[in-house]
């Protein structure tokens, strides 16, 4: 699940499934509504809110039940948003903020709508954005990491700590245990220390 950055396109051409983030699309309209009070932007936000209400209702369902629920409830709402945007776009000035928000959403449409095809697909990547927010907020303080190599090492460590947290581990406990066990762990067993497969010693 990515934004519209052109660097990702080669991966999709090679067969990777692309998902669009509804939070990114919604943010375009939120920013426009804050800037101008656009009624079109407000309606877009309200229409997208319907998709999120459906997701809240389906949250506790199994993957298969969620897929069926999305097909029954989300897909009609998704089609209605698309039809509304298609009809609206010719009426909106081409260089306006509202037009840019509409164009972004329509350009990303196949990827945005795809989440409804599978109950395991997320509607947005907010959990990942929340996990990396401390890093994004602190990056100005880390401009001078010492060297490019040091910066890459810091990025790797922060990624591992965020992954540990995402897997339900207390990052310091995971790191302390891994550093203790690492010197005596065989190369073939290194994978057992990674956050997604790590188990603390009883």
Span 11-55, pLDDT tens digits:
777 778 889 999 999 999 999 999 999 999 999 999 999 999 999
Query: Collapsing DSSP states into helix, strand and coil, what is residue 185?
Result: coil
Q: What is the largest CA-CA distance in the chain?
A: 68
Q: Model-level pTM?
A: 0.66
Domain boundaries, the chain: 6-117, 126-193
67-107 residue pLDDT tens: 999 999 999 999 999 999 999 999 998 889 999 999 999 99
* Contact between residue 82 and residue 113 where contact means Cβ atoms under 8 Å apart: yes
Give the angle subtended at the CA of 95 by the CAs of 94 and 100, to the nearest 5°. 85
Which residues, 6 or more positions from 143, have their beta carbon under 8 angstroms from its beta carbon? none
Angle, CA 28 vertex, CA 139 and CA 48 arms, to 5°: 120
Question: Closest by alpha carbon to 121, among 167, 163, 67, 79?
Answer: 67
Percent of the chain exceeding pLDDT 90 equals 65
- Packing angle between helix 75-88 and helix 39-58, nearest 10 degrees? 170
């Amino acid at each position: 699940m990515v934004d519209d950055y052109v660097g990702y396109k080669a991966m999709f051409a090679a067969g990777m499934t692309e998902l669009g983030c509804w939070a990114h699309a919604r943010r375009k309209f939120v920013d426009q509504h804050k800037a101008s009070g656009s009624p079109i932007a407000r309606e877009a936000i309200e229409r997208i809110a319907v998709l999120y209400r459906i997701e809240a209702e389906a949250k506790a369902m199994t993957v298969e039940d969620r897929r069926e629920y999305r097909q029954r409830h989300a897909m009609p709402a998704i089609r209605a948003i698309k039809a509304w945007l298609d009809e609206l776009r010719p009426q909106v000035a081409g260089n306006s903020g509202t037009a840019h928000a509409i164009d972004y959403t329509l350009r990303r449409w196949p990827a945005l709508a795809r989440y409804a095809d599978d109950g395991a697909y997320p509607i947005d990547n907010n959990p990942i954005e929340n996990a990396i927010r401390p890093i994004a907020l602190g990056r100005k303080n880390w401009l001078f990491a010492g060297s490019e190599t040091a910066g890459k090492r810091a990025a790797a460590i922060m990624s591992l700590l965020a992954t540990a947290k995402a897997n339900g581990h207390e990052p310091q406990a995971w790191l302390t245990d891994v550093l203790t066990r690492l010197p005596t762990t065989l190369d073939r067993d290194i994978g057992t220390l990674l956050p997604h497969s790590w188990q603390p010693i009883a």
